[in-house]
Amino acid sequence: MRHPTGADFLAACDGWLSQRDDLHNGLLSLAHALSAQKHIHNPPFTFAHVENEGRIDGCAIFAEPDGLTLSEMSDAAADVLFTSLRSDIGKPSRVFGPHDPTIRIARHFAKYLTLSPVLHSRWHIHRLDTLVRQDVRASGSVRIGSPSDVDIVREWGKLYNLEKPANIDIEKFLIRKLDDGLLYFWIDRKPTSIMTLSGTECTGTRISSVYTPAEFRGKRYASALVYEMSNRLLDLGKAFVTLNTEVNDPVERIYENLGYYVVGQRVSFVFVEPELHLDQSMVG
């Protein structure tokens, strides 16, 4: 079933997605952002869900540069979704979502496009219910970003883009979060780390980016920022906090020490010409 707007999509799918909004926070926050016109994505957008015997069996949003973002779904739902969307989407910049349906839909698109699917990245979804007390933390405190911070946010966004290229423009993303009042700094006489929040409409909130410039690393500023903001969110009544990390990224250990634990995995596939195909591209 297709939906003309993000609001219509949320009206139909929010209840189902929210049953596990620790896993689906990214999809929900994307729908909310597109509905509120607070995003950096390029139209046209596609919103869809699949039903089985009157019950939702999977949801998806297509919005570049994110590509096609998927929820948990059955194999049958993945097949139906691909058939419904393939002609409208054409070649998505990527397919992103839970392991099994993402691989299945990536294979369908690859055959349809006569291209090869390549595993681009793997991500862990971490959840925090109870914060582990940290008796020793970095000096400093949290401060919310303000319009006067725009220059440093732009500068750090450019650095972030260079160090960890993403499917979206991080500089534009950070500026959007600054404008929305969802960007925070760790201050130790001056800004030393930055983080943003997403999915604040959900039962749990997601920490959607964390960055420390090279000159401030090794002093536990980012850890202190995540700790303090996680604590605030739980104190404000959020049921949990989530964040995503690339699999085997060393920062996973830092978050585990704060009480975060893995609840799911997401994978991302892109498409290349067949001669560039790698044998291990479908390993996941």
Measured CA distances, 187 to 51, 100, 282 (Å): 48, 42, 43
Q: Per-residue b/e over 184-209, b at no fewer than 16 CB within 10 Å?
A: bbbbbeebbbbbbbbbebbbbbbbbb
Residue 134 has pLDDT above 90, yes or no: no
Distance CA 96, CA 268 (A): 4
Q: How many CB atoms lie within 10 A of CB 136?
A: 6
Residue 281 has pLDDT above 70, yes or no: no
Tokens coding 66 = 């994110």
Residue 136 has pLDDT above 90, yes or no: no
Enter the DSSP assignment of 133: P
Q: What is the pTM of this model?
A: 0.92
Domains and CATH numbers, the chain: 2-123+266-282 (no CATH), 130-239 (3.40.630.30)
Q: What is the pLDDT of residues 12-69, one digit of tens each?
A: 999 999 999 999 999 999 999 999 887 889 999 999 999 999 999 999 999 999 999 9
Residue with tokens 């996680």: 230
Q: Predicted confidence band at 11 (pLDDT cuts at 50, 70, 90)?
A: very high
Q: What is the pLDDT of residue 264?
A: 97
Q: What is the mean pLDDT of residues 194-199?
A: 96
Residue 283 has pLDDT above 60, yes or no: no
Q: What is the pLDDT of residues 218-277, one digit of tens each?
A: 999 999 999 999 999 999 999 999 999 999 999 999 999 999 999 999 999 999 988 655
Q: Predicted confidence band at 280 (pLDDT cuts at 50, 70, 90)?
A: very low
Residue 278 has pLDDT above 60, yes or no: no
Q: What is the pLDDT of residue 284?
A: 41
